[in-house]
Structure 1
């Protein structure tokens, strides 16, 4: 019996852009527009859950005041 070499799991898709600043008003990350609970639990979510959140992210941008987003 031979052991096949183990391959690392495929990388998890993420919307992270390395701008990790939380907007106090909306509770969203100003880089990726996720909630802190989503960021913290991202690796434990199913692929379908992550895809659903990622599809919603563009619409969340409007929850952060434009003058705050202008800083990034």
Structure 2
């Protein structure tokens, strides 16, 4: 018997890329740009909560690349 792990069809996938290192200054994962709280709660988030996090990731990455997190 196989486990049936079904997710809602509109459930966004995790942005994790397997580079799980928390940057000491930004406190964001260097692989996916999520906070530790977001990573820990990901599987409990609703699809809308996941989409909101994903929408923030590009902004965070831009800020990290521009040095805005380090000012």
TM-score, normalization by structure 1: 0.73
Task: Measure the CA separation in 2 of the matches of 1:7 and 1:29.
Answer: 30
Partner of 1:25 in structure 2? 25
Count of equivalent residues: 61
TM-score, normalization by structure 2: 0.73
Tell me, which stretches of 5 or more residues in structure 2 are unaligned? 67-71
RMSD of aligned Cα (Å)? 2.1
Determine which structure has more spread, i.e. the larger CA radius of gyration. Answer: 1
